[in-house]
Structure 1
């Protein structure tokens, strides 16, 4: 680790250290929203509804591939940050090499399992006769490119784990920039429609992965992509999987929850589904800002967990205050101009009214989800695998019965409020577990520093 990164880990004022780690991640996660919007925009210029449908239908597949990258990336990344705090630098090389090559292997497994079942996957995603061909094209490209996509999400986490937050952000910006440029080329110049957009995504991930690999191989003092450092020991596998698996499950649950909510809203008409879709897209931006904040400070918390317990506490406290301030600021904006925000997507008065109502309700949980994400990050950073696993499933487990009960009692309003209720329960469970584990964290730190 270079002296600059070490300064932010160990000596910089907590507010400055949090800004160093979190701001680049917040920018990067915000760009990912633009990333998805631009793909839809370029395909939309072709005025073919079946193509846009294919793009929407393949989101769950992309989410699964991304989740595989986060499985290795988050699991390895938090382990690396803890090892840096313990100054076990050779172990860091072993873990980073393991992360690099295991990501490629996971991607190859996706290819081996996916290619023979392409048609079944496309039908499973819900493709109609009109969208089947376009959906199959996108799925084919994403399955073949899965080693690259998995690698991209893994390396972004690994680079950030050593404190190179700016480098991590540059890689994300590079991916978005290349994707947008290639989208324009494949649509307007080469006329490759869905295959072109899917290929642009894979190629942009390849470029960013090459950037990260170059940094790890030639710029970083402790990270490596050299196969000679590769190890898959029980200790590495245990530490990676106990954090990575809950992250993977959480990603799957989030996608499933969105699907379940849509199923419940269909009963109230297309306008209800459309209103939820618009409001959830608008909510995505502040959610991703807070997610970037919480994920950005994970390496700092993990490092401090093994190096300086008081600094870990100060980091968590400052991050909570920042979440409160950001959620309050976003909330004021939404409650003042919610109608105008919904009107950016539609001129239907009823849809604007319904969308504004959903936006008001769901924004109530912005602070709750921000703190809950931080709880999860703390459990990941401090290697509390069981707590991280519980946090990964609690919201999804609670949401389904709440949806059934709330819908029976309050109808449409119950469905809308059910997500807020599930968020509140997850928050309470996280707070209780953190309170229970506070003594264990103290004991763990004391044993590590002795």
Structure 2
């Protein structure tokens, strides 16, 4: 680890250290949301609701690919940060090489397994007759590009784990810029609609992955992509999967929840699915800002857990205060201009009304989801595998029965409100577990949760 990164891990004031790790991540994740929003915007210019519906229906597939990347990336990344805190720098090369090649293999498996089942996958995503062809086009391209998408999410975590937050941000922004440029070309110049948007996403992930691999191979002191450092020892597998599997399950549950949610919304028409697709992309912006904050401090928390636990407490407290402030600001903005935000994507009055309503409801849980993400990050950083696993399943386990009951009793409104209820339950469970683990994590954390 170079001296600058070591300074931010060990000696910088907590506010400065959190800013160093979190701000680049927040900027990077916000840029990712921007290009997700722009995907919908570019397709929206074609005034084809079926295309917007296809884009919404394919969110679960993207969630699965992200889950595979985070399975290796988050598990390896938190392990690398703890190893650096323990000064076990030689082991870091083995872990980083393992992460690189394992993620490529996982992506290839998805391609080989998914393409023969393409029609079944599209039907399973809930495509209607109008949106089936567009959905199939998007899914086909994403399956072919799976290795690059999985690799991107893995390497972003690995680079960030050694403290190279700015490098991580540059890679994410590079992906976004390439994607935006390609989106404009494929929609307005080549007229490739959904196929073009999906191809732009894959290519942008490939470009960013090459950038990360270059950093790991040529710039980083301890990370590597060399196959000769590849090692799959029991220690590496245990530490990676102890955290990676809960992260994977959480992402799968998010994808499954999105899939189930879409199936309930389809009953209320393509407009309901499209409205949710637009509003969820807008909600992603503040959610990913908070996620960037919470995930950005994970390496700092992991390092401090093995090196300086009082610093870990101060980092957590400052992060909580920042979550409160950001949630308040974003909530106020949305309640003032929600209709105008939705109208950027469509001129359909029904879509605008439904999308604005969904935004108002789901923004109620913004602070809750921020805190839930922080709880999960603490459990991941401190290698609390059981707690991380519980956090990975609790929201999905809660949402399914709540969604069924809410739909039966309150129809469309109940479906929308079920998301807030599931978020609240996950928050309460996380808070209880943090309190129960306070002495195991460190005596100083007791004051945090009392």
TM-score by length of 1: 0.91
Q: Which residue of 2 aligns with 1:23?
A: 23
Question: Structure 1 CA distance, aligned partners of 2:317 and 2:366?
Answer: 18
Tell me whether 1:73 sits opposite 2:69 in the alignment. Answer: no
Q: Quote the offset at 1:307 in angstroms.
A: 0.5
Q: Cα deviation per residue 1:219-249 (whole Å; 9 max; x = unaligned)?
A: 1111011111110011111111111111111
Pairing 1:43-82 to 2, within 5 Å after superposition: 43-82=43-82
Q: Evaluate the alpha carbon distance shift between residue 120 and residue 238 of structure 1 in structure 2; reply closer, same or farther with a 3 A threshold.
A: same
Q: Quote the offset at 1:282 in angstroms.
A: 2.7
> Does structure 1 conserve the Cα–Cα contact (< 8 Å) formed by 2:40 and 2:345?
no
Tell me whether 1:207 sits opposite 2:203 in the alignment. Answer: no
Q: Which residue of 2 aligns with 1:448?
A: none
Question: Structure 2 CA distance, aligned partners of 1:345 and 1:144?
Answer: 28
Tell me whether 1:184 sits opposite 2:184 in the alignment. Answer: yes
Question: Structure 1 CA distance, aligned partners of 2:160 and 2:370?
Answer: 20
Q: Which residue of 2 aligns with 1:405?
A: 405
Q: Which residue of 1 aligns with 2:142?
A: 142
Question: Structure 2 CA distance, aligned partners of 1:351 and 1:199?
Answer: 27
Structure 1 unaligned blocks of 5 or more: 446-450
Q: Name the stretch that deviates more: 47-56 or 228-237.
A: 47-56
Q: Name the stretch that deviates more: 26-35 or 344-353.
A: 344-353
Secondary structure of 1:365 counterpart: helix
> Does structure 1 conserve the Cα–Cα contact (< 8 Å) formed by 2:53 and 2:274?
no
Q: Quote the offset at 1:415 in angstroms.
A: 3.4
Q: Evaluate the alpha carbon distance shift between residue 139 and residue 274 of structure 1 in structure 2; reply closer, same or farther with a 3 A threshold.
A: closer
Q: Cα deviation per residue 1:118-149 (whole Å; 9 max; x = unaligned)?
A: 33323333345554444333333222221111
Q: Evaluate the alpha carbon distance shift between residue 131 and residue 423 of structure 1 in structure 2; reply closer, same or farther with a 3 A threshold.
A: closer
Q: Cα deviation per residue 1:89-116 (whole Å; 9 max; x = unaligned)?
A: 0111100000001011111211221232
Q: Quote the offset at 1:20 in angstroms.
A: 0.6
Q: Which residue of 1 aligns with 2:448?
A: none
Q: Quote the offset at 1:178 in angstroms.
A: 1.1
Question: Structure 2 CA distance, aligned partners of 1:140 and 1:408?
Answer: 35
Q: Quote the offset at 1:414 in angstroms.
A: 3.7
Question: Structure 1 CA distance, aligned partners of 2:62 and 2:205?
Answer: 13
> Does structure 1 conserve the Cα–Cα contact (< 8 Å) formed by 2:52 and 2:274?
no
Pairing 1:213-252 to 2, within 5 Å after superposition: 213-252=213-252
Q: Quote the offset at 1:176 in angstroms.
A: 1.0
Q: Quote the offset at 1:273 in angstroms.
A: 4.9
Secondary structure of 1:163 counterpart: coil
> Does structure 1 conserve the Cα–Cα contact (< 8 Å) formed by 2:49 and 2:271?
no
Q: Cα deviation per residue 1:195-225 (whole Å; 9 max; x = unaligned)?
A: 3332222221111111111111111111011
Q: Evaluate the alpha carbon distance shift between residue 403 and residue 199 of structure 1 in structure 2; reply closer, same or farther with a 3 A threshold.
A: closer
Tell me whether 1:378 sits opposite 2:378 in the alignment. Answer: yes
Q: Evaluate the alpha carbon distance shift between residue 58 and residue 419 of structure 1 in structure 2; reply closer, same or farther with a 3 A threshold.
A: closer
Question: Structure 2 CA distance, aligned partners of 1:109 and 1:133?
Answer: 24
Question: Structure 2 CA distance, aligned partners of 1:389 and 1:109?
Answer: 24
Tell me whether 1:40 sits opposite 2:68 in the alignment. Answer: no
TM-score by length of 2: 0.91
Secondary structure of 1:389 counterpart: helix
Question: Structure 1 CA distance, aligned partners of 2:278 and 2:407?
Answer: 21
Q: Cα deviation per residue 1:326-366 (whole Å; 9 max; x = unaligned)?
A: 11112222333344444545566676555444433322211
Question: Structure 1 CA distance, aligned partners of 2:274 and 2:44?
Answer: 17
Q: Name the stretch that deviates more: 409-418 or 424-433.
A: 409-418
Pairing 1:89-100 to 2, within 5 Å after superposition: 89-100=89-100
Q: Evaluate the alpha carbon distance shift between residue 286 and residue 115 of structure 1 in structure 2; reply closer, same or farther with a 3 A threshold.
A: same
Q: Evaluate the alpha carbon distance shift between residue 129 and residue 407 of structure 1 in structure 2; reply closer, same or farther with a 3 A threshold.
A: closer
Q: Quote the offset at 1:409 in angstroms.
A: 4.8
Pairing 1:298-447 to 2, within 5 Å after superposition: 298-345=298-345, 355-442=355-442
Secondary structure of 2:12 counterpart: coil
Secondary structure of 2:437 counterpart: helix
Question: Structure 1 CA distance, aligned partners of 2:197 and 2:263?
Answer: 28
Question: Structure 1 CA distance, aligned partners of 2:274 and 2:138?
Answer: 24
Question: Structure 2 CA distance, aligned partners of 1:181 and 1:358?
Answer: 30
Q: Name the stretch that deviates more: 331-340 or 19-28.
A: 331-340
Q: Quote the offset at 1:306 in angstroms.
A: 0.5
Structure 2 unaligned blocks of 5 or more: 446-450
Q: Tell me how large the CA RMSD over aligned residues is.
A: 2.4
Question: Structure 2 CA distance, aligned partners of 1:128 and 1:354?
Answer: 20
Question: Structure 1 CA distance, aligned partners of 2:411 and 2:144?
Answer: 44
Q: Name the stretch that deviates more: 128-137 or 432-441.
A: 128-137
Q: Evaluate the alpha carbon distance shift between residue 261 and residue 131 of structure 1 in structure 2; reply closer, same or farther with a 3 A threshold.
A: closer
Q: Name the stretch that deviates more: 58-67 or 9-18.
A: 58-67
Q: Cα deviation per residue 1:283-333 (whole Å; 9 max; x = unaligned)?
A: 221111101111111000000000000000110010001001111112222
> Does structure 1 conserve the Cα–Cα contact (< 8 Å) formed by 2:81 and 2:302?
yes
Q: Quote the offset at 1:266 in angstroms.
A: 5.0
Q: Name the stretch that deviates more: 304-313 or 355-364.
A: 355-364
Question: Structure 2 CA distance, aligned partners of 1:166 and 1:363?
Answer: 29
Q: Name the stretch that deviates more: 273-282 or 151-160.
A: 273-282
